[in-house]
Chain A
Amino acid sequence: METVSEPIVTSKPKVKKNSSSSAFQRIFRYSFVRLITLFVTVVIGVYLTIMIANMGGYVDTIMKAEIRERITISVANNQAYKNMPKDQLNELILERIQLEEKRMGLDRPLVIRSVNFLKNAMTLNLGRAVNMNSDAGSRQVRLIILERLPYTLLLMGTSNLILFFSAMFLALALSRNYGSIWDKIVIALTPTSSAPAWFYGIFFILIFAAVLRILPFGGVMDAPIPETFIARALSVLKHLILPASALIISTFFLSIYNWRTFFLINSSEDYVDTAKAKGLQGRDIERRYILRPTLPYIITNFALMLIGIWTGAIVTETVFQWPGLGRTIFKAIGLYDTPVIVGTTIIYAYLLAITVFLLDFVYALVDPRVKIGGGK
Chain B
Amino acid sequence: MKNFLNSLREIRKYPSAIVGSVIILALVIAAVVVLITMPYKETIDFWRGGEESWYANPRYAPPKWFNWFREDKLAESFTMKDTESEEDGVVRVVEERDEGVKMITETFAFDYDYDTFPQDLAIYFTAQYDQKQPFVSLKWLTPDGREIKVASFAVSPKQTYRFIQDEKLKSKRLNGIVPNIGLFIDPEDPNQKVVKGTYQLVVEAVTFEADSNYTAEFVLYGQVYGWAGTDNLRRDLSIPLRWGIPIALTFGLLAALFTSVLTMIIAAIGAWYGGVVDALIQRITEVNMVLPFLSILIMVATFYSRSIWVILGVTILLSIFTGAIKGYRSIFMQVKESTYIEAAQAYGAGSGRLIFRYLLPRMIPMLLPALVSAVPAYVFLEATLAVLGIGDPVIPTWGKTINDAWVDAALYKGHYYWILQPAVLLMITGFGFAMLGFALDRIFNPRLRGM
Contacts and interface: CB of A to CB of B under 8 A. Distances in A.
A2 B430 contact: no
B402 A194 contact: no
B427 A195 contact: yes
B326 A9 contact: yes
A199 B434 contact: no
A370 interface: no
A319 B293 contact: no
Interface stretch (B45-53, B162-170, B373-381): B373-381
Contact of A333 (B20, B295, B384, B420): B295
Interface stretch (A17-25, A44-52, A105-113, A165-173): A44-52
Interface stretch (A96-104, A200-208, A234-242): A200-208
Interface string A199-237: 100110110011100000100000000000000000000
Interface in B385-427: 387-388, 402, 406, 411-412, 414, 416, 419-420, 423, 426-427
Contacts of B438: 187, 190-191
Interface stretch (B77-85, B199-207, B210-218, B282-290): B282-290
Interface string B326-354: 11001000000000000000000000000
Contacts of A330: 298, 388
Contact of A1 (B304, B330, B377, B411): B377
B290 A315 contact: no
A198 B384 contact: yes
A28 B184 CA distance: 90
A202 B412 CA distance: 12
A134 B435 CA distance: 45
A319 B387 contact: yes
Contacts, number: 152
Interface size class of chain A, counting residues whose CB lies under 8 Å from the partner chain:
35 or more
A195 B380 contact: yes
Range class of the B interface residue count: 35 or more
B294 A8 contact: no
B412 A210 contact: yes
A59 B300 CA distance: 11
B39 interface: no
Given A191-B434, A336-B303, A206 B419 contact: yes
Nearest to A47: B287
B387 A198 contact: yes
A139 to B, nearest CB: 21
A306 to B, nearest CB: 16
Interface in B265-301: 283, 286-296, 298-300
B153 to A, nearest CB: 44
B431 interface: yes
Interface of B: 16, 20, 283, 286-296, 298-300, 302-304, 322-323, 326-327, 330, 373, 376-377, 380-381, 383-384, 387-388, 402, 406, 411-412, 414, 416, 419-420, 423, 426-427, 430-431, 433-435, 437-438, 447-448, 451
